[in-house]
Amino acid sequence: MHEPPRWAATLLAPATLVYATVVDWRRRRFDAGAGVVRLDPPVISVGNLVAGGTGKSPVCRTIARHLLETGRRPAIAMRGYRADATGMSDEAAEYASRIPEVPLAVGADRIAAIAALKDPPGSIVLDDGFQHRRVHRDLDIVLVDAVHSGLDRGMLPSGPRREPRSALRRADAVVVTRASEVDPVLAAEIERHHGRPPLAWTRHAWTGLTSHHRGVESTRPVSDLDGRRVATVFGVGNPASIRRSIEAVGGIVVHDVAVRDHAAYDATRVSAIVEAAGAAGAEAIVTTLKDWVKIGRHADRLGDLPMLVPTLEIEFLAGKAAFFEAVDSTVAGAAPGSG
């Protein structure tokens, strides 16, 4: 999320007060149980406290894969922000590409979307579900970004937080993402608002690159970026973290194509991206899978520049056993929370 500068907080204070009032009214309503629907399969929600990217998709994929491996027949339910005419959104297309065996329930009304699934799932992973409280959840996981936690900033629109810090109290578990190590200062801050220290600490790990070049797809090691001049195009909520990852493995970013989160791409835009990257002396373009599923529809416009898509996975620094124990106990019926 692109936050307003800190000086703007004063100007936006009245709007923030109105927003906070609405959020509090909504909280009290759901706390009383109004409008909450309990589904038959157990529900694991993955969400966050701030607007923008904290790594929800890779965490949801990690959970879904684990559920598959343990025979739980998961489905992933999501809002489908900026879905196209077919009902497919960026995130949905990414999931369909990475874990095609997991059914997707996409729609603003997630209860209806889940009910419309052809085969009833054995478990539900609710993507970006912390504020979607109509669906009762049996395990409520909140992600906190170690780099930009948002805990020291205000609520929307003057800051990035969707809810007050005290909302962490209703989470069953907090998982820290994009960490380089266990940070005792951040752990203490989370415990102060959540009541318990983080359940797990994770980092985003690139396990490889998928190269798309003149219609040929190939798998390359991440080391291919070392010393390579690249342009970037990231239609995601936290592009700075991806750029840092490129530079950490030796990539040289010579041009950033500025696009908004959930950006759309037509043939003209793809051609313009390639032209700008070439003019900057880039040897390749790095993008996300979420962007590639749309850019790839116009692959004939890429010319001679390879398009590189990092394969992103979650790697646990601490708390891996506790994390999967919480998931397993939830789907086994020993729900640790009330949602």
- The yes-or-no answer to whether 8-199+319-331 and 207-311 have a common fold is yes
> Is the distance from CB of 176 to CB of 192 less than 8 angstroms?
no
For the chain, percent of residues with pLDDT exceeding 70: 93
Predicted confidence band of residue 127 (pLDDT cuts 50, 70, 90): very high
In this prediction, residue 53 has a pLDDT band, given cuts at 50, 70 and 90, of: confident
| Per-residue pLDDT at 3 exceeds 90 | no
CA dihedral 102, 107, 110, 113 (to 10 degrees): -60
Strands, DSSP E only, in 60-199? 74-78, 104-106, 123-127, 139-145, 173-177
Q: Which amino acid is residue 92, in one-letter code?
A: A
**CA distances, 21 to each of 86, 163, 262 (Å):** 36, 10, 28
Domain boundaries, the chain: 8-199+319-331, 207-311
Percent of residues, the chain, with pLDDT higher than 90: 80
Alpha helices, DSSP H, located in the chain: 8-31, 56-69, 90-98, 110-115, 184-194, 239-248, 267-279, 289-295, 320-331
Q: Which residue has the tokens 């070439």?
A: 278
Which stretch of 13-17, 179-183, 308-312 has the lowest confidence by average pLDDT? 13-17
Question: What is the C-alpha separation between 309 and 307, in angstroms, rounded?
Answer: 7
Instruction: Please answer whether residues 230 and 285 qualify as being in contact, where contact means their C-beta atoms are separated by less than 8 angstroms.
Output: yes
Q: Compute CA distances 55 → 45, 104, 302, 327, whole Å.
A: 13, 18, 28, 18
* Structure tokens given for 125: 């992973």
Q: What is the pLDDT of residue 12?
A: 85
Q: For residues 129 and 273, what is the distance between their CA atoms, to the nearest angstrom?
A: 34
pLDDT for res 67: 97
Q: Tell me what pLDDT residue 334 has.
A: 39
Please compute the mean of the pLDDT values over residues 178-193 and round it to a whole number.
Answer: 97
Rounded average pLDDT over 116-140: 96
* Residue pointed to by tokens 């307003």: 4
In terms of CATH architecture, what is 8-199+319-331? 3-Layer(aba) Sandwich (3.40)
pLDDT in tens, 59-102: 999 999 999 999 999 999 999 876 555 556 788 989 999 999 99
Q: Output the six-digit token pair for 184.
A: 């005792």
More confident residue, 28 or 9: 28
Fold adopted by 207-311? Rossmann fold (3.40.50)
pLDDT at 336: 41
Neighbours of 251 (CB within 10 A): 22
pTM metric for this prediction = 0.89
Non-local (6+) Cβ contacts of 339 within 8 A are 36, 43, 45, 133, 135, 136, 137, 138, 140
Mean residue pLDDT across the chain: 91
Please list, in sequence order, all residues whose beta carbon lies within 8 angstroms of the beta carbon of residue 222, skipping any fewer than 6 positions away: 206, 207, 208, 209, 249, 310
How large is the C-alpha radius of gyration of the chain? 20
Q: pLDDT digits over 234-257, tens only? A: 988 778 888 989 999 999 999 999
